Structures are given as structure tokens and as C-alpha cells.
Amino acid sequence: MAQVKVTQIRSAIGSKPKQRGTLRALGLGRIGQSRVHEDKPETHGMIARVPHLVRVEEA
């Protein structure tokens, strides 16, 4: 299955609690941190909640 690399590019300070929780669920906690996830609808949904905080690339 395809994979996507998600990198946090902006701080979560000042964002809503649900957005901070979504970053945590993606495994991100600080700027510059990256995680590789399976390319599934659940992952796309989480990324869609915080597009202004993360960058997505194919892994």
C-alpha cells in the first residue's frame, strides 16, 4: 500500500484543541517532526483538519 510522509511545519500554539489532538494522533509534536503513514481515508481525514500546520509528501 502507498505511504505518505507528514511533516509539521507550523506551531500548534494558538490552534484549537481538536487540531492539537489531531497532530498528536498523527504522531507529531514539534516543528520539523515527520511521520510516515499508510495512505488511507482515515489519514486523509486527519490531514484535512490541519492542512495549515503540516506538509504532505509521497513516501
Own/partner long-range contacts of 31-35 (Cβ < 8 Å, ≥24 apart): 32/7, 32/8, 33/7, 33/8, 34/5, 34/6, 34/7, 34/8, 35/5, 35/6
Under CATH, to which class is 3-58 assigned? alpha beta
Sketch the domain layout of the chain as residue ranges. 3-58
pLDDT by residue (tens digit) across 6-31? 999 999 999 999 999 999 999 999 99
Cell numbers placing 21: 489532538
Percent of the chain residues past pLDDT 70, beyond the cut:
100
What value does the mean pLDDT take over residues 25-48?
97
Amino acid at 40: K
